[in-house]
């Protein structure tokens, strides 16, 4: 019998459960892997694309390894008191906590497709780099590279960029990591954008990347595709205007509630010292602005995503005759293609 603290086990389980595949055709991937060795344990979840392993400490001397049903395990945790006693016998994981008792279905751990860490890491916090950028990736696309988040290094900077073909979002930080170029799958990028990591390693040859944080190890497969050559679109445009960023967000958010906005888009037009934001002839509003004359129509969701990516009080938006618009702040950048008017 091994004793666990409910608080720590629950925290570790929550890191793992979101990557467990409920509908996998591989039965073991619908389960979570549990390994107990004396006073150490680890639980692992995997969906075939990403694997998350959480480490912790317990009180016992057992050597236990099995795969258990995560749904019932979660119910058990919510019903438990401050301590949980766990044992595995006759194909079941048995738990006792106060008056609460569970017998959870298990399968042989040898059936679990466990991936192993290489142990090589660079000191990088991916959350700082990719948070929000991944919102620009395509949900579905015949070009698989557009569904992921590209991370590439050039020896001086580490870049994260995503695009769906109509919007590009990029972030970059100083880094002397050797040059590499990978594409993270969408679920992996979303997961890594929510936790702080202190270690990162990728192996382009085996299409695998690894990350570490306190007590957590993450391994993800990579998308085997070429990311678009976006750099040629990013330059200093001659025309620009400056507005209060929050004012522009508020006006666009208000217009986006109009039913026909998906069909008609939001039109932004300069008018003297005002910037007019409108949806066809249905509604309009304006804010103060300074800069060059401007007229374009946009998908409002693109604008709101991009404007929330930047966190400055005011924003300067650059544009050219091809009607790319571009906003920058420190290492952050967005570029959007307007709709045809």
List of domains in the chain = 2-111 (3.10.150.10), 126-232 (3.10.150.10), 234-336 (3.10.150.10)
> In which band, very low, low, confident or very high, does the pLDDT at 299 lie, cut at 50, 70 and 90?
very high
Quick: pLDDT tens for 201-233: 888 778 899 998 889 999 999 999 999 998 888
The answer, yes or no, to whether residue 17 has pLDDT greater than 90, is yes
For residues 300 and 256, the answer to whether their CB atoms sit within 8 Å is yes
pLDDT at 143: 85
> Shortest CA distance to 91 belongs to which of 9, 21, 31?
31
Residue percentage of the chain with pLDDT more than 70: 98
pLDDT at 321: 60
Which residues are paired to 199 by β-bridges?
A: 212
Interacting residues of 119 by C-beta distance below 8 A, sequence separation 6+: none
pLDDT at 147: 92
Cβ neighbours of 9 (radius 10 Å): 22
User: Whats the size of the chain, residue-wise?
Assistant: 341
Entry pTM: 0.87
Tell me the mean pLDDT in the region 255-272. Answer: 92
Quick: pLDDT tens for 37-76: 999 999 999 998 999 999 999 999 999 999 999 999 999 9
Q: What letter would DSSP give residue 181?
A: E
Quick: pLDDT tens for 129-145: 898 898 899 888 778 88
Task: Answer with the residue of higher pLDDT: 56 or 124.
Answer: 56
Tell me the mean pLDDT in the region 156-169. Answer: 93
Q: At what angle do helices 6-17 and 70-79 cross, to 10 degrees?
A: 150
Task: Answer with the residue of higher pLDDT: 215 or 237.
Answer: 215
The answer, yes or no, to whether residue 341 has pLDDT greater than 70, is no
pLDDT at 12: 96
pLDDT at 235: 81
Q: For strands 314-319 and 239-244, give the pairing.
A: antiparallel
Q: Is residue 263 exposed (0-12), middle (13-18) or buried (19+ Cβ within 10 Å)?
A: exposed
The mean predicted confidence, pLDDT, of the chain is: 90
> In which band, very low, low, confident or very high, does the pLDDT at 271 lie, cut at 50, 70 and 90?
confident
pLDDT at 322: 55
Q: For strands 2-5 and 199-203, give the pairing.
A: unpaired
Tell me the mean pLDDT in the region 297-308. Answer: 92
pLDDT at 102: 97
The answer, yes or no, to whether residue 329 has pLDDT greater than 90, is no
The answer, yes or no, to whether residue 126 has pLDDT greater than 90, is no
The answer, yes or no, to whether residue 151 has pLDDT greater than 90, is yes
For residues 21 and 47, the answer to whether their CB atoms sit within 8 Å is yes
In a 13 Å sphere around the CA of 147, the CA atoms on its Cβ side amount to 14
Interacting residues of 24 by C-beta distance below 8 A, sequence separation 6+: 30, 47, 48
The answer, yes or no, to whether residue 194 has pLDDT greater than 80, is yes
List C-alpha distances in Å: 236 to 26, 41, 296, 341. 50, 53, 19, 24
Q: Is residue 123 exposed (0-12), middle (13-18) or buried (19+ Cβ within 10 Å)?
A: exposed
Give CA 229 to chain center in angstroms: 22
Quick: pLDDT tens for 239-255: 899 999 999 999 999 99
> Which spans in the chain are helix H?
6-17, 70-79, 126-130, 186-192, 245-255, 261-264, 300-309
Residue reference for tokens 């009080």 = 313
């Amino acid at each position: 019998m091994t004793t666990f603290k409910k608080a720590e086990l629950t925290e570790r389980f929550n890191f793992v459960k979101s990557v467990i595949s409920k509908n996998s055709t591989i039965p073991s991937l619908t389960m979570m892997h549990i390994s107990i060795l004396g006073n150490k344990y680890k639980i692992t979840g995997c969906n075939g694309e990403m694997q998350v392993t959480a480490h912790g400490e317990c009180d016992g001397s057992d050597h236990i390894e099995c795969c258990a049903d995560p749904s019932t395990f979660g119910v058990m945790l919510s019903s438990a008191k401050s301590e949980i006693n766990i044992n595995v016998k006759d194909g079941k994981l048995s738990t006792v906590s106060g008056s609460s008792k569970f017998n959870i279905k298990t399968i042989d751990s040898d059936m679990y497709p466990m991936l192993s860490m290489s142990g090589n890491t660079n000191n990088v916090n991916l959350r700082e780099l990719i948070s929000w950028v991944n919102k620009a990736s395509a949900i579905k696309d015949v070009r698989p590279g557009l569904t992921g988040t590209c991370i590439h290094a050039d020896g001086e900077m580490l870049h994260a960029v995503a695009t769906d073909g109509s919007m590009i979002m990029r972030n970059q930080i100083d880094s002397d990591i050797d040059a590499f170029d990978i594409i993270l799958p969408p679920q992996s990028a979303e997961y890594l954008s929510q936790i702080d990591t202190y270690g990162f390693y990728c192996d382009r040859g085996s299409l695998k990347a690894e990350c570490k944080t306190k007590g957590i190890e993450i391994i993800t497969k990579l998308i085997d595709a070429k990311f678009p050559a976006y750099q040629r679109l990013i330059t200093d445009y001659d025309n620009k205007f400056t507005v209060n960023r929050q004012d522009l967000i508020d006006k666009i958010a208000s217009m986006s509630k109009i039913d026909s906005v998906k069909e008609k888009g939001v039109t932004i037009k300069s008018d003297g010292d005002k910037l007019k934001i409108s949806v066809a002839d249905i509604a309009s509003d304006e804010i103060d602005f300074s800069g060059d004359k401007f007229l374009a129509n946009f998908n409002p969701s693109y604008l709101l995503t991009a404007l929330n990516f930047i966190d400055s009080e005011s924003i300067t938006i650059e544009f050219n005759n091809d009607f790319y618009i571009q906003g920058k702040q420190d290492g952050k950048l967005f570029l959007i293609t307007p709709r045809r008017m």
